[in-house]
């Protein structure tokens, strides 16, 4: 059932029966029931019971006949009586025709016949047209209907009456004068068929009808009744035996195989073979020609690619070219992409970053020009290109290409339109909300976990800070700048790295003295249960805040063995594992 917003039924399947009527169910105007194929096969059968809009209830055999009044084999004959008439299966097991005011107009179950007997009774007492298909006719066997084929015909499908019958011989063409052709006329008494005759004439007896059809090559069946005869061609339709009718059907049967002019097929076969030979030779020639062209084009293409690679790859860069599937740019190409390195968007310890656009794809990129090429810049280029080129993760900035020509060392990255995390955190109008900050923290953790454990060559970044976390157009955090990356060999299980830069305290100068050292103030708030002081008036989930703070204290432990792995950090951030109480940061005192 379908209901509207007021709870009223606007459609229900009970108003649309398919092959069965249930007690109190109605067959409405312009609706129909379609019979099943059999008692065990519930696919659509060949009969339909239709409630017409003129008030007439009609039954048709729909498989081989058009739905027209002349082809109906049952009708209630209530047409024109009233509009909006429906068929109702009442609770007393009778079928009624009911008008729009729900008044019974007629009981069609015929004085006590229950509704379940309706279909079989109609089938026995009526002649459904098309039931036996083409060239077949209906007979009665012990009050049960059966289909029989015309003489000289066989059933197309023995399990399907409506498929009809087909010839079991090859008929000769009327255009040939074949004197060896012999045939007889076989009688089918008391059978009636659809009148589709092409010739009608009166004759005194049946023999005259037989002779007239025998002399006519086009005549394949003749019908004789009361001194009149009709000539027809196959197929014959709507046949049935009616013992009360004196009609006689005369079917022409061939008794000898027609002779065939052997020269015609031979000439035809010769022409077909010649055509096939011409087509085959043409196809083989075309295929050979295309193969030669393909080989030439492939050889020239490989030669051009080989020359291009050799001109751009120096001897010390061969191994890198095999390992990294990146695009190689020339310095001139990058000058065009960046419009002469005009728009500077960032500057780091190893070089400057410029904004550019690849014109062919209209894609924005960030081009990093490396400095100190002869010393640290060369080493950074090799490290970043090898490491980033083999990594692919949603929380890592993707390296698109490089320039390694002469003294020029440039890297081409995907462009991050929202800048760095530092830009967002320290810009009040762009500052992310609490839920976004949680997502950023988890995204960074996933990226570091990938670098530590999941990529082909494990990498320690060593320089994670807000300036090295870039934000894409969807404010998704991506780790950048592998300038200080240290590659781990697969057999390295424990690697300790020295502290980079000057170790000191995170001092916030514009706060009171007791709050100026962030780590000590945060731990004091944690011990006193006043973590909300860290976020001011912002509405947040206190349990999430406590989880974040506890993870942070575990990650800044001085002793490396006490720091959790990145996999465990991610599980703690997501709330999957419990977080023990972190120790006091005594090393800050």
Exposure pattern of 364-403 as b/e (b: 16+ CB <10 Å)? ebbbbbbeebeeebbebbbbbbbbbbbbebebbbebbbbb
Average pLDDT estimate for 87-96: 85
pLDDT at 216: 84
pLDDT at 306: 62
Give the integer Cα–Cα distance in Å for 567 and 562. 14
Give the integer Cα–Cα distance in Å for 257 and 251. 17
Q: Judge whether residue 263 has pLDDT over 60.
A: no
Between the CA of residue 283 and those of 279, 288, 289, 290, 486, what are the distances in Å?
6, 9, 10, 11, 61
Residue 504 vs residue 371, higher pLDDT: 371
Average pLDDT estimate for 153-164: 83
Give the integer Cα–Cα distance in Å for 267 and 277. 15
Give the integer Cα–Cα distance in Å for 208 and 222. 11
Average pLDDT estimate for 38-59: 82
Task: Report which DSSP code applies to 433.
Answer: -
Instruction: Give the residue from 38, 121, 113, 105 showing the smallest Cα distance to 73.
Output: 121
CATH number for domain 326-493, candidates 3.90.1150.200, 3.40.50.300, 1.10.510.10, 1.10.10.410: 1.10.510.10
Residue 140 vs residue 396, higher pLDDT: 396
pLDDT at 241: 87
Give the integer Cα–Cα distance in Å for 85 and 256. 60
Is 463 tagged catalytic?
yes
Task: Please state, rounded to an integer, the average pLDDT across all residues of the chain.
Answer: 78
pLDDT band at 272 (very low <50, low <70, confident <90, very high): confident
Average pLDDT estimate for 459-473: 87
Phi (first) and psi of residue 222, to 5 degrees: -130, 150
Q: 560-566: long-range contacts (C-beta < 8 A, 24 or more apart)?
A: 560/496, 565/452, 565/453, 566/445, 566/448, 566/449, 566/452, 566/453
pLDDT at 326: 77
Give the integer Cα–Cα distance in Å for 416 and 551. 28
Give the integer Cα–Cα distance in Å for 239 and 131. 9
Catalytic residue among 463, 491, 510, 541: 463
Residue 18 vs residue 78, higher pLDDT: 18
Percent of the chain with pLDDT over 90: 18
Beta pairing, strands 136-141 & 239-241: parallel
Does 1.10.357.10 match the CATH number of domain 2-107?
no
CATH 1.10.510.10 positions along the chain are: 326-493
Cis (ω within 30 of 0) for the bond into 235? yes
Average pLDDT estimate for 481-485: 57
Residue 274 vs residue 203, higher pLDDT: 274
Give the integer Cα–Cα distance in Å for 402 and 284. 47
Average pLDDT estimate for 426-451: 91
* DSSP of 338-372: TTTTT-EEEE-SSEEEEEEEETTTTEEEEEEEE--
Give the integer Cα–Cα distance in Å for 54 and 39. 32
Q: Judge whether residue 61 has pLDDT over 60.
A: yes
Query: Is residue 456 a contact partner of residue 405, using CB atoms and an 8 Å limit?
Result: no
424's CB contacts (< 8 A; 6+ apart) are 418, 430, 431, 432, 471, 475
Residue 350 vs residue 277, higher pLDDT: 277
Here the tokens at position 583 are 């120790």
Question: How far does the chain reach from its first CA to its final CA, in angstroms?
Answer: 73
pLDDT at 366: 93
Query: Is residue 459 a contact partner of residue 485, using CB atoms and an 8 Å limit?
Result: yes
* Alpha helices for 391-505 (secondary structure H): 421-425, 434-449
* Residue 231 assigned ligand-binding role: no
Phi (first) and psi of residue 238, to 5 degrees: 60, 45
pTM above 0.75, yes or no: no
pLDDT band at 172 (very low <50, low <70, confident <90, very high): low
Q: Judge whether residue 494 has pLDDT over 90.
A: no
pLDDT at 417: 92
Instruction: Give the residue from 470, 482, 452 showing the smallest Cα distance to 570.
Output: 452
Best mean pLDDT range from 67-71, 369-373, 484-488, 528-532: 528-532
Query: Is residue 153 a contact partner of residue 165, using CB atoms and an 8 Å limit?
Result: yes
pLDDT band at 318 (very low <50, low <70, confident <90, very high): very low
pLDDT band at 309 (very low <50, low <70, confident <90, very high): low
Residue 572 vs residue 107, higher pLDDT: 572
Beta pairing, strands 44-51 & 57-61: antiparallel
CATH 2.90.10.10 positions along the chain are: 2-107
pLDDT at 382: 66
Query: Is residue 97 a contact partner of residue 76, using CB atoms and an 8 Å limit?
Result: yes
* Alpha helices for 99-217 (secondary structure H): 118-125, 206-214
Q: Judge whether residue 296 has pLDDT over 80.
A: yes
Instruction: Give the residue from 501, 387, 509 showing the smallest Cα distance to 451.
Output: 387
CATH of the domain spanning 136-170+179-255: 3.50.4.10
Instruction: Give the residue from 442, 438, 341, 456 showing the smallest Cα distance to 388.
Output: 456
Give the integer Cα–Cα distance in Å for 580 and 586. 17
Signed CA dihedral, 269, 275, 278, 279: sign only: negative
């Amino acid at each position: 059932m379908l209901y509207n917003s007021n709870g009223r039924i606007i459609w229900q399947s009970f108003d649309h029966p398919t092959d069965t009527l249930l007690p109190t169910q109605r067959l409405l105007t312009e609706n129909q029931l379609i019979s099943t194929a059999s008692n065990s096969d519930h696919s659509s059968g060949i009969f339909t019971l239709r409630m017409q809009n003129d008030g007439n209830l009609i039954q048709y055999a729909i498989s081989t006949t058009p739905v027209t009044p002349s082809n109906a084999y049952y009708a209630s004959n209530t047409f024109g009586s009233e509009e909006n008439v429906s068929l109702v299966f009442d609770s007393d097991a009778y079928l009624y025709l009911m008008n729009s005011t729900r008044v019974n107009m007629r009981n069609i179950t015929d004085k006590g016949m229950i509704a379940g007997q309706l279909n079989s009774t109609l089938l026995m007492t009526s002649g459904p047209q098309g039931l036996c298909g083409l060239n077949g006719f209906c007979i009665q066997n012990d009050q049960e209907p059966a289909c029989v084929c015309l003489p000289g015909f066989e059933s197309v499908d023995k399990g399907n009456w409506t498929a009809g019958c087909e010839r079991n011989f090859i008929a000769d063409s009327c255009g040939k004068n074949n004197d060896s052709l012999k045939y007889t006329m076989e009688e089918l008494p008391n059978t009636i068929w659809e009148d589709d005759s092409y010739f009608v004439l009166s004759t005194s007896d049946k023999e005259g009808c037989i002779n007239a059809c025998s002399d006519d090559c086009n005549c394949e069946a003749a019908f004789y009744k009361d001194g009149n005869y009709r000539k027809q061609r196959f197929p014959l339709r709507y046949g049935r035996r009616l013992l009360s009718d004196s009609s006689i059907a005369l079917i022409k049967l061939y008794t000898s195989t027609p002779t065939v002019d052997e020269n015609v097929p031979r000439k035809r076969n010769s022409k077909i073979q010649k055509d096939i030979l011409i087509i085959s030779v043409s196809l083989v020639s075309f295929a050979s020609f295309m193969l030669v062209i393909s080989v030439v084009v492939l050889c020239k293409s490989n030669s051009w690619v080989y020359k291009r690679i050799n001109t751009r790859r120096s001897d010390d860069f061969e191994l890198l070219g095999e390992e990294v599937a990146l695009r190689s740019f020339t310095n001139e190409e990058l000058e065009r992409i960046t419009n002469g390195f005009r728009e500077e968007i960032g500057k780091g310890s190893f070089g400057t970053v410029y904004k550019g656009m690849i014109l062919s794809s209209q894609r924005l990129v960030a081009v990093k020009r490396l400095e100190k090429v002869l010393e640290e810049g060369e080493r950074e280029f090799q490290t970043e290109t090898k490491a980033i080129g083999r990594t692919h993760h949603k929380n890592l900035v993707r390296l698109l290409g490089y320039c390694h020509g002469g003294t020029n060392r440039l890297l081409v990255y995907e462009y991050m339109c929202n800048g760095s995390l530092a830009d967002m955190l320290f810009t009040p109008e762009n500052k992310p909300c609490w839920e976004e900050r949680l997502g950023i923290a988890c995204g960074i953790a996933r990226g570091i976990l990938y670098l530590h454990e999941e990529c082909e060559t494990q990498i320690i970044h060593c320089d994670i800070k807000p300036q090295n976390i870039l934000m894409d157009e969807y404010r998704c955090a991506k780790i950048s700048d592998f300038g200080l990356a240290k590659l781990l060999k697969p057999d390295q299980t424990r690697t300790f790295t020295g502290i980079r830069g000057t170790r000191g305290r995170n001092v916030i100068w514009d706060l009171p003295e007791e709050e100026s050292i962030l780590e000590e103030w945060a731990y004091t708030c944690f011990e006193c249960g006043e973590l909300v002081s860290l976020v001011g008036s912002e509405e947040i989930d206190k349990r999430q805040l406590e989880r974040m703070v506890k993870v942070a204290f575990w990650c800044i432990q001085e002793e490396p063995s006490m720091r959790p792995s990145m996999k465990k950090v991610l599980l703690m951030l997501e709330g999957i594992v419990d977080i023990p109480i972190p120790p006091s940061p005594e090393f800050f005192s």
